[in-house]
Structure 1
Amino acid sequence: MTDAVKSWPVRHFDSEEAVARVGEGLLSRTLPRSEWTHEAHLAATTYLLLKRPEIDLDTELPGLIRRYNESVGGVNSDTEGYHDTITRAYLYGIRLFLNEADPSAPIHELVNELLHSPMGKRDWPLRFWSRERLFSVDARRSFVHPDLAALP
């Protein structure tokens, strides 16, 4: 884990409404860009998985994130914006986490627990992908398989 990864404090969610605001803000492209953090990515994905099952995230999440990025002035290019491999790794990790979580827990508690789990850490994908492979243009454009270890 790099020092840069260690130095970021985890931002928690204090209510179900806070998680819903992020998830719905992604969908409607109204979430302020400054709030589109690592934690917000995971909260929005968790929210969509649990509360919006009509959305096929395997198919639709890439476009949702790309459109959101563009709506707040971001660019989806070979060097910034949407990253397919990281997005799909975390989608897999969130599902893995939720398979073992208490389904009756409030969603903000699930998200906060996820953020402290291995799957919620900023460096979780680097357990499976080398930095060179994960941050390659190919990995940003489309999913590339891990080169260090298989996903659990």
Structure 2
Amino acid sequence: MTDHTIRPFASDAAVRRVGEGLLARTLPKAEWTHEAHLAACAWLLLERPDFLPEHDLPGTIRAYNLACGGVNDDTQGYHETLTQLYIRGVRQFLVRREPASLVDTVNALLASEIAPRDWPLRHYSRDCLFSVAARRGWVEPDLAPLCHGAVTGKGA
């Protein structure tokens, strides 16, 4: 497992600020970090039952990218396979996690096995994951299947 530096969140409010900023398209682009992606996904799953990430997050991220001056094309911006993969991973993590505060849950997620940036490469080859097909739509893993019991709350 790759070591990764965790930039934890300080409070529940800090996590909510990221999620709400994503939805409102007001989160500064510099704050849309890998940790922010994971935190926003966890917040949406835990506190926004009206929001179905598998369906609603793609459009939300695309709109956010455009609002920040970015683009969504075949080489940059929104990536469907990565988004759906992380939604699955965060869901699995949350199912297995003991109830805790929002910030404690998010910080545990950031210390989990799915938090390293290279986690998707345990399931996908680079060629497959960074293909146009994977950016545009869901592509099944070509290296290792996703196991429903594989994501734990244990640190990296």
TM-score surpassing 0.5? Answer: yes
Identity of aligned residues (%): 56
Equivalent residue for 2:134, pick from 136, 139, 144: 139
Of 47, 59, 64 in structure 2, the residue corresponding to residue 63 of structure 1 is: 59
Stretches of structure 1 lacking an aligned partner (at least 5 in a row): none
Aligned residues: CA RMSD: 1.2
* 1:41 and 2:51 aligned: no
> What secondary structure is seen at the aligned counterpart in 2 of 1:120?
coil
Give the TM-score of the pair, scaled to structure 1. 0.93
The amino acid that maps onto 2:117 is: R
**Residue identity matched to 2:76:** E
Alpha-carbon separation, structure 2, partners of 1:131 and 1:124: 12
Which amino acid letter does the alignment assign opposite residue 69 of structure 2?
Answer: G
What is aligned with 1:115?
110
Task: Report the TM-score when normalising by structure 2.
Answer: 0.91
Secondary structure, counterpart of 2:114 in structure 1: helix
CA contact (8 A) 1:25 1:31 kept: yes
The question of whether the paired residues in 2 share the 8 Å contact of 1:94 and 1:120 is answered with no
Large movers: runs of 4+ above 4 Å: none
Higher helix share: 1
CA distance in 2, matches of 1:65, 1:102: 29
Aligned mates of 2:84, 2:48 — CA distance in 1: 18
SS in 1 for 2:5: coil
Letter matched to residue 100 of structure 1: R
**How far 1:119 moved relative to its partner?**
1.4
CA deviations over 1:41-70 (Å, ceiling 9, x no partner): 000000000000111111111000000000
CA shift digits 1:90-149 (9 cap, x unpaired): 00000010011012x111111111111111221111111111100111100111000001
